[in-house]
Amino acid sequence: MKYLLTTIISGFSLVVSLSAFAQTQTSAQAPTNASTSPAQTETETADWQICNETSFALRIATAVNVSGKLQPKGWTKVQAGSCMSQAAPEGTARYVYAESSPAHRGGIREWKGASFLCAGEDDFTADTSIGCALQNLSTRPYLSVDPAEKITTLVEIDDFGSKATTAGIQRLLQDNGYEITRIDGVAGRRTSRTMAQFLKENELPTTLTPQQQLEALEASAGEKMQSIGLNICNKSNAKIWTAIGRRRKGNWESKGWWSIEKDECGQVFTESLISADLSFYALQGGMIDEEGAKGEDRSLRSIATTPTQFCIAESRFAVLGRDNCADLGYQAANFRALPIDKPGVTIELTDADFGGSANSGLR
């Protein structure tokens, strides 16, 4: 059965390098990338295949019965046009969750369901008899799959099918900043010439297979992601939540919230800031005093004489427009404008950046 992309969420940055890619090509093992071509099956060790017919590089987590108990496990990277194999006892429950690589611009996309099971940010194996938090894991909304299903296919609105590998190359060329105007999976002259240009500029051999090309493109796009957009680093003494406001296609809009733990950084906008008209806002969670009491949440201080206002809401939100926030059921907040003369910027927020108490219930 084929399963469609369900939502888009913001993603944090990915640190990769082309030199690391080159090393993987000579390694005898690649445990983090167990993908095979759709035509291959591993009937000796597995009877369930999960195939990526999207234009995105995906990382996939599964949950199947092991020794009579459901076991969530991840992550396996599966490039566009490839499949992974998973041992799954016949007739038993099976679940899958997938998200796109943070090397892609525009945030992380999810292929999900409604069954919340454990998952980690890094490779993990979870025990369903123990709470996720006790295993230092979070949860993801896994998709329940029919136990009789032998092949599970992940697709976009455009099901690229056998053209997924070419579509993946086109998307990653676009993520690398090349002028690929259409992602259609058709291997035309523009795609082949642009791929040849990428290989030449990065001193990579022209003999790379399509799957190796995808790996190299993803690594390069991941590096470029570090130099564009908005990265916010939390140097304060409590967790923070961030939101952005921008002009997009002639309209003002605001979105939030993205949480960033103390001493961590998050990439909350993954496009170039040049002429982006982007602003940001943040809330700081109440700090714990010496007696263990939690203080009030605090809002980002306004530093502009005439601050830019956008609408915010209590929980995750996406608001079109920025006027008459109260009339629309939202709250107006003073956002900080960002420079538009550079592709990317990193903002460090400290305790001094937060002032008055935030309204109760925000986030």
pLDDT greater than 50 at residue 31? no
CA 128 to centroid of chain Cα atoms:
25
pLDDT score, position 359:
56
Residue 328 clears pLDDT 50, i.e. is over it: yes
pLDDT of 28 strictly over 50? no
pLDDT recorded at residue 15:
39
Cis check for the bond before 48: say yes or no (omega within 30 of 0).
no
Residue scoring higher pLDDT (321 or 307): 321
Percentage of residues of the chain with pLDDT beyond 70: 84
Mean residue pLDDT of the chain comes to 85
Residue type, 271: E
Q: Is residue 108 over pLDDT 90?
A: no
Confidence of residue 343 (pLDDT cuts 50, 70, 90): confident
Q: What is d(CA 282, CA 239) in angstroms, rounded to the nearest whole number?
A: 10
Q: What is the tens place of the pLDDT at every residue in 231-283?
A: 899 999 999 999 999 988 889 999 999 999 999 988 888 787 888 889 999 99
pLDDT at 198: 96
Q: Which two tokens stand for residue 185?
A: 């999976």
Residue 196, pLDDT score: 96
Give CA–CA dist 52/156, Å, rounded.
10
- Residue with the two structure tokens 């409604």: 114
Every domain of the chain and the residues it spans? 1-226, 229-357
Q: What is the mean pLDDT of residues 162-166?
A: 96
What is the residue-wise DSSP string for 86-145? E---TTS-EEEEEEE-TTSTT-EEEE--SEEEEE-SSSEE--TTS-TGGGT-EEEEEEEE
- 73: tokens are 């496990």
Q: What is the dihedral of CA 231, 55, 18, 228, to 10 degrees?
A: -20
The residues, ordered by sequence, that sit 6+ positions from 110 with a Cβ below 8 Å of its Cβ are 5, 6, 7, 8, 9, 97, 98, 99, 100, 141
Which residue is associated with the tokens 């090349």? 178
Residue 208 CA to residue 186 CA, distance in Å, equals 19
Q: How far apart are CA 171 and CA 173, in angstroms?
A: 5
Q: Tell which wins on pLDDT, 135 or 292.
A: 135
- The pLDDT of 160-170, averaged and rounded, is 96
61-70 pLDDT tens trace: 999 999 889 9
Residue 282's closest CA among 299, 259, 302, 260? 299
Q: What is the pLDDT of residue 291?
A: 55
Residue type for position 119: A
156 touches 55 (CB < 8 A): yes
Alpha helices in the chain (DSSP H): 18-24, 164-175, 189-201, 210-225
The yes-or-no verdict on residue 218 having pLDDT over 90 is yes
- Beta-bridged to residue 111, according to DSSP, are 98
Q: pLDDT class for 302, splitting at 50, 70, 90?
A: confident
Judge whether residue 336 has pLDDT over 80.
yes
Q: Taking the CA of residue 307 as centre, how many other CA atoms within 13 Å lie in the half-sphere pointing to its CB? A: 14
Q: Tell me phi and psi for residue 167, to 5 degrees.
A: -60, -40
**Would the pTM count as exceeding 0.75?**
no
Task: Write down the pLDDT at residue 333.
Answer: 93
Calculate mean pLDDT across residues 316-333: 92
- Least confident interval from 168-172, 235-239, 256-260, 353-357: 353-357
Q: Determine the distance from the C-alpha atom of residue 281 to the mean position of all C-alpha atoms in its chain, rounded to a whole number.
A: 21
pLDDT at 360 over 90: no
